[in-house]
Amino acid sequence: MTTELPPEEDDLSGLSEEELRAAYEAELARIRVEDVLVQTVVSLLNLAARKAGLTGADEEPEWDQVAEAIDATRALMPFVEPTLGPEAKQVRDALTQLQLAFTQSGATVPGPRPAEPAPEAGGTGPATSSGRLWVPGQ
């Protein structure tokens, strides 16, 4: 037996537990992992911009939070770039703005971070060899 969502998808009050479970299962079947990854990256960038004071909010910057968001976004970028296509440039630009704000703030990454392996002899280091902007903790 399948239960369809009511016409008012946002109003789930009055549904039985079985109907709620069916609605939840239908939503899970519809959502793709790529969609969740893209939404996560966008959420991280928006939150980090706020934590960096780039949104005009009257809050003290939280640079440790910004650093975490930068690291997480960089880790997810290879997964979301194919989904985003040409729009990936906007995400990379936002990430670059956060990286610049972090660097210009003079903040340091709190606590111990995993050490980077030493570059091989004659190497140029991870930032230069990748052609990407250096990010603290990377």
Instruction: Per-residue pLDDT tens, the chain, 138 aa: give them.
Output: 444 544 455 677 888 899 889 988 998 899 999 999 999 999 999 999 999 999 888 889 999 999 999 999 999 999 999 999 999 999 999 999 999 999 999 888 766 556 556 555 555 555 555 556 666 666
Question: Domain range spanning residue 53?
Answer: 33-105
In the numeric block, which tokens belong to residue 2? 């399948």
Number of structural domains the chain divides into? 1
Q: Rounded to an integer, what distance in angstroms lies between the CA atom of residue 116 and that of residue 128?
A: 14
Residue 10 placed within a domain: no
- The verdict on residue 121 lying in a domain is no
Angle at alpha carbon of residue 137, lines to 68 and 77, rounded to 5°: 60
SS3 128: helix
- Whether 115 is covered by a domain: the verdict is no
